Structure 1
C-alpha cells in the first residue's frame, strides 16, 4: 500500500511539473485609483470611469470556444481607500427581455442572464472570491476553492446596483477591502469575468477558458495590474450579535409550550489582510433552511451538506480533505445533537504558499441522552507546490469531558472517551487543469484500540476537450473510525475507473454528445467481491441548454449485514445473501430560458431478492420573473418483492414558492410530504436584509402525521442579526 502511494505521489509531482506557467498571462487589465467619487447607481457617468481601462472582446466558452463572443461586454475597475469598484456594460445581442429566475441572492447560474467576477488575490490559481449579479439585480457572492469551485453559502458586506436600458443592462458594485482577503503589498491579482446570455445561449469570458471547464476556473484567469499596492484594509473587526425569541410545542408527546429567549454573538477579526479569526458564543442557526428530504433506499448513511455560516469561510481546508464518502471531518457532527456553547476558528493564508485552519468548538451536556460535554479540535495545514497543487495535513480530535465510560449507569448509552484522526494528502492540479487528482492516507485512534484503523485512497483524472478518464481506488480498514467525519462504510477496498468521450458536431441543434462508462467494485478485506455497479450512459446536450441522458446499469450486492430493502418494513435480508439485477433509465432537463421549466428521471429494472423497482422523479417550475417562482417536485418508488415485503410504494412530494419582492425582501414556503417516514413538513421563512449582511428572520415550521392528519410539533422563531463593523 505504501509503495502504491509513493508511486502515485511521484507520478503526480511529475505531471505537475510539466505545466508551470500561467496560461493567460498576456491578458492584463490595469486598475488605477479613482479620480472622482463613484456612486453605485448603475450609471456610467463618473470621471473615474471615463479614465478607466476597459476589458472587452470577450471569448466564447460555450457553445464553441474558438471565436469571440457575439454578445459584447465592457468591464471597468477602479478603487479608493475603502472599496474596490466594478462597472459592467452588458450589451444585448438579441432583442427581447432579460431572463432571470428571481431576485434571490446566490441565484442558480444557468437559469439567469448574469455577470460574474472571479478574483484570485494571491495569484495561487486555487483560492479566491466571486461577486456578481443577474440582470434583475440579485447579488451573487461566494468563496472560491479547489481552483474553480464556489461556495455560495459564504456571505459578506458589499453593495451593488443593476439598471436596465433598452439595449443593455449595467451592473455596478463596491466591494469593501474589509470584505475580502488578500496579501498586503501584492500588485498583481488573478482575475476573470464571465457573462451568460440566455437569449443567445452563449457563455463567454474575458480571458479564454476551454469549454470543458467552468468559467470560474482560476487556472485561466488573466491579471489585474494595480498602479499601486491595494490599500491596507486597516483594523477589520466585525461584531455580529443576534437576539431571538421563539415558541415550540411538541404535540406528539403532550408537551406544553416551550419558549426561547436567546442572545449570542459572532465576531470576525482580521489578524492580517489574509488571515481571519472567527469567534462565536451561543450560536444559533434557526434561520437555516431545513434539509430537503429524500426517499432513502440506501444501505448506508446519507450525506446532507453543511449550511451554517460559521463553518463555511475557508471551509475547504477542513471539509475538503478526503473524498465524498471518506471525510475525516464533517462539521454537521458538531452541534446538531447538543448545544454549541462557544467556539473559535482561525483560517486563511499565511503567505502565498501556506494556508492554515484551526478550529475549537465546545458543546454542552444533554441530560435526556446522557451525552457528556464534548470538545472538538480540528487543525489543517496546506502547502502549495508546483503550479496549482498542494500538500495538506489534518488533525481531528473529539474529546468527552469529565466522562468515564466505566461509571455509566445501567441502561444509559456509552460514548467514547476520545476519537482522533490524523491525515496527509497530496492534491494535484496542473496549470492547464487537464490533470487533477489526489492521494491520501488517514489513521484513526481510540482509547481501547478497537477504533484504530487506516485509510488510503487515490485518484488521477484527465479531462481534455473530448476525452475524460479517471482512475480511483480506496481502502478503509475494518476498525477505522471517524466520529467527527463522514465515512458510511468501512472494511473494504474499492476500485472505480471511468472513461467518457464527447463529440462537438457542427449542428444548429446539438452542442455535444457522447458516452460514459463507469465501474465501481467493492471487495471486503478478505478479497471477496461485495458490490459491483457498472454504468453505461449516453448524453446529449442541446444548444438550447436542455439535456437528455439515457443509461443502462448492472448491480451486484453480497450483503455484509442484514438489510431491509424498503428501509421501512423492518424485515431484513440475511447477511451473505447475493443479489444482482439490471436496470435502465432516462433523464431529461428542459432549457432554462423558458418561464416554464421541467425535468424528469425514470428508472425501470430489477432489485434485491429478484424483485422489481420502478422510479420516476419530476420537477416543474414556473416563474413570474423576477418576483415569484413556483416549483413542484415529485418522487415515486414502487418496489415489488416476495413476501414478507410484497408491494411497497412511496411518494415524496414537495411544492415550493419563492417570492422576492425586492433583492432585500424574501419569502419562501415549501411543503415536504414523505410517505416513507410518514411525515409532512411545512417550512416558511421571511427574510428582510435591511442592511448589507444584517437581517430580520421570521421562521415557522410544522410537522404533521399524514394519516390521520395530526400535528406532531410546530415552532415559530423571530431572529434579528446586525453586522457591525468596528
Structure 2
C-alpha cells in the first residue's frame, strides 16, 4: 500500500500548485480562433431541412472552410456556410453545403448511430464548458441520419451514448442543407458561460475531400476541442428542466425448443432523473431492464487470455467519459487493466444477466472538478445473495488540457468477499509542443484488496507524440500476480510490459494517384516480475499506402515470441503445449473506397503459429443499394495445421437494416460460428415516436 500512497500523494499535490488555483487560462492559439455570434430568437425556425424561415437570414454567417485532405490549408472546393440561433429551449444550427454537382451528392443511409463516412456528411463538436477538454460530437448526412458521441480529454470516447436532438436535411439544385435542434436539456453545460467551444468538419465523399471551419493542423481531429473555434453571445442559459421521468413496460416470451416449454413474463420500472444543476445530474433506475440492448458480436479467441466485450447499456454509457481512467487506449500505450468495467455489474462472468433492483448515478462537472458516482443493488442469483457495488471517480482539470484524479470501487458482484480498489492518475496533454505539435503523457497507480489475496498493485506510464509526419510513443506498466479488480478488467497479470511505436507518414502531393504512405514499427514486450522474457511481438508495416481513389493497401510482417508455462486450448479445440515458440506471419490487407456502392475490405494472413501453421482469410463487405436498406456481410476463416491435428475456426455474420425514417428502423443480425455450431438471430424494431420516447420489439433466437 505504501507505493500507492506515495504516487497518489505526488499526483494529488497538483491540486495545490498555483496553476490549478486560479481561473482557467485560455490556450494561446497558434492562429486566431474563428468564432460566430449566436442570435437569440423569440420564435425558432421549423426544423425541416428547407432553410426557408426568414429568421435564418438575420443571423451572422460563418464559413471559409479549409482543407485537411487532400491539400492542407487550401480552400475547400465547395462552399459551406452555417448560422446559429437559440432561444430558452434549444440551440439551432443551420448548414448550407453548396455543391456544383448536386446529382453526385452521396446520401445512402438513414441509420441512427452509424458513422456516415460512406456519404457526404457534416460532423461538429461542442464544448459547452469551454474547458478545452470535453464535449459532444454530432454527425449527420443529407438524409438527416444522426450520430452522437462523447468527447473526453480531446478524444473520441465512444458512440454508444445517445441524447435527444433533431436533424432534418434536404437536397436541391444548389447542394444539400440541414437544420439541427439541440435542446439544452440534452447537454450538460456551465451556467453563466456565454461562450462555448465549437468546430465543424465537412466531408465531400466523391472527392475524398475533408475540411474544417477552424483548423490548426490536419493531425488534430474535430474532437480536439482544445483547438476549436467558438460560439459567442449565448446569454441567459439558465432554464433547464429539473425532472425527467422515463417509465418502461416490458413483455417477454421465452420458448425452449428442446424441452418444448414456453413462458410469458412482464415487468415494469423506470428511470427518474433530477438536474441538480445545469452541469450535474442525478439518476435513479428502478428494476433496471436491458432487454432492448443490442446483442454482443461473436468473437474467437486464439490466445491464452480472456476477451473483453464492450458495454452497450445506456444507463452505464451516459457520462461514461467521466469514469475514464488513465491514458485510454493508444497503440503505444494500451490500458492493461481497467479499474472500472461496467459489464461486471448485472452480468455474470459467463455473460448471463443478473437483475439490477436499484441503480443510482450522480455525474457531471462542478467548476474544475469532474464527478461520477454509481451505486447498484443486485438481485439474488444461483446460490449468491444480492450484492452491492459502488464506484466513485473524481478528477480535476489542471494546466491547459490536463487532469489529475482518483477512482475507487467497492464490492464484488460475483461473490460475498470484501473487495476494494483505489487508483490515481495524472494525464498531461498539450498541442503547443515544439510550437504546434501534440504531446501526451500519463502516469497512474492502482491498489486492489480482496479477502483472498490481500493488497496487490499496478502502475504505469506512457508518452505519446501523435502528429502528422511522425507518430511515436513509449509505454511501461507493471501488474502484480493477483491484481484483479472485482469491478474491473485485467487481461494479463504478473507482468512488466514495455512498448514502443514509430510511424513515418509522408504526404505525396506530387504523385497524383497516391495521397500518403506509412512506414511503421510497433513492438510489445512482456517479462515476468522476475524479468524473464515471457512474450514479445514486433510488427513492421512496409508499407501502408493510401490512394487518391480511396483504396488503401498494407503489408505487415509480424514476428512473435511466446513462452506459455502451461498447456492451453484455443477456439476450435487446438492445444498448445507449454514451451518456447518463435514464429513469423505475413498480412496483406485491402480497404475499398467508402464512396463505392460496395465498401469494406478483405485480407489474407499466412505464416507459422506456435508449433504449427495458421492461415486466415477475412472480409467485410457493405452494400447500400438504397437509403432505406443497409447491408453488410463479414466472414473470417482460420485454418490450423498442428503436429497432432488439423482444424479450422470460422465466424460469419449477416446484418441488414430497413430504415423507414431516421427515427424508425428494423435491424436483423445473423451470426454463426463452427465452434459452437450454432446460428444466432437477433431482430430489433426501433421507433423513437417522440424525442426521448422509444419503443422496441426484440426477438432473439439461437439454433443449434
Give 2:379's aligned residue: 364
Give 2:366's aligned residue: 350
CA distance 1:300–1:281, shift in 2 (3 Å): same
Q: Is 1:330 aligned to 2:341, yes or no?
A: yes
1:602 to 596, 601, 604: 604
Structure 1 residue 15 displacement after superposition: 14
Q: Is 1:639 aligned to 2:652, yes or no?
A: no
Give 2:539's aligned residue: 535
Deviations 1:23-66 (A, max 9, x none): 45431111121264421122333332112111111111112222
Deviations 1:51-92 (A, max 9, x none): 211111111111222212112110000111111111010111
Q: Residue 496 of structure 1: SS of its match in structure 2?
A: strand
Structure 1 residue 255 displacement after superposition: 6.0
Quick check: 1:442–1:456 contact (8 Å CA) kept in 2?
yes
Q: Distance in 2 between matches of 1:2 and 1:700?
A: 48
Spell out the pairing of 1:552-631 with structure 2 (5 A cutoff).
552-564=557-569, 566-569=570-573, 571=575, 573-574=577-578, 577-609=579-611, 611-631=612-632
Structure 1 residue 121 displacement after superposition: 1.0
Q: Residue 151 of structure 1: SS of its match in structure 2?
A: coil
Deviations 1:620-666 (A, max 9, x none): 121123111121111000000011xx111122111121111211221
Q: Distance in 2 between matches of 1:616 and 1:64?
A: 36
1:199 to 186, 206, 216: 206
Q: Distance in 1 between matches of 2:8 and 2:498?
A: 18
Structure 1 residue 151 displacement after superposition: 2.9
Q: Distance in 1 between matches of 2:132 and 2:701?
A: 46
Give 2:331's aligned residue: none
Size of the aligned set, in residue pairs, is: 679
Quick check: 2:98–2:176 contact (8 Å CA) kept in 1?
yes
Give 2:277's aligned residue: 272
Structure 1 residue 288 displacement after superposition: 1.3
Deviations 1:446-489 (A, max 9, x none): 124x1421101111001222011100011001121211111011
Greater RCO (CA < 8 Å, at least 6 residues apart): 1
CA distance 1:8–1:550, shift in 2 (3 Å): farther
CA distance 1:452–1:109, shift in 2 (3 Å): farther
Quick check: 2:628–2:659 contact (8 Å CA) kept in 1?
yes
Deviations 1:389-436 (A, max 9, x none): 101210011157xxxxxxxxxxxxx93512111000011111446101
Structure 1 residue 561 displacement after superposition: 3.2
Q: Distance in 1 between matches of 2:460 and 2:546?
A: 33
Quick check: 2:38–2:59 contact (8 Å CA) kept in 1?
yes
Quick check: 1:129–1:144 contact (8 Å CA) kept in 2?
yes
Give 1:526's aligned residue: 530
Q: Distance in 2 between matches of 1:289 and 1:699?
A: 9
Quick check: 1:93–1:200 contact (8 Å CA) kept in 2?
no
Q: Distance in 1 between matches of 2:293 and 2:75?
A: 42
Spell out the pairing of 1:160-559 with structure 2 (5 A cutoff).
160-226=167-233, 229-252=235-258, 254=259, 256-321=261-326, 323-337=334-348, 338-351=354-367, 353-367=368-382, 370-399=383-412, 415-432=415-432, 434-448=438-452, 450-506=453-509, 507-537=511-541, 538-559=543-564
Structure 1 residue 372 displacement after superposition: 2.4
Length-normalised TM-score, structure 2: 0.92
Q: Residue 452 of structure 1: SS of its match in structure 2?
A: strand
Structure 1 residue 341 displacement after superposition: 0.6
Structure 2 residues without counterparts, runs of 5 or longer: 329-333, 349-353
Q: Which 4+ stretches in 1 moved above 6 angstroms?
A: 1-10, 12-19
Give 1:653's aligned residue: 652
Structure 1 residue 19 displacement after superposition: 10
Give 1:664's aligned residue: 663
Q: What RMSD over aligned residues (CA atoms) do the two structures have, in Å?
A: 2.5
Quick check: 2:151–2:321 contact (8 Å CA) kept in 1?
no
Q: Is 1:133 aligned to 2:140, yes or no?
A: yes
Q: Distance in 2 between matches of 1:460 and 1:581?
A: 29
Give 2:62's aligned residue: 55
Q: Distance in 2 between matches of 1:4 and 1:376?
A: 27
Quick check: 1:451–1:480 contact (8 Å CA) kept in 2?
no
Q: Distance in 2 between matches of 1:517 and 1:543?
A: 24
Q: Distance in 2 between matches of 1:40 and 1:636?
A: 48
CA distance 1:463–1:682, shift in 2 (3 Å): same
Quick check: 1:25–1:223 contact (8 Å CA) kept in 2?
no
Q: Distance in 1 between matches of 2:483 and 2:281?
A: 33
CA distance 1:670–1:326, shift in 2 (3 Å): same
Q: Residue 699 of structure 1: SS of its match in structure 2?
A: strand
Q: Residue 635 of structure 1: SS of its match in structure 2?
A: strand
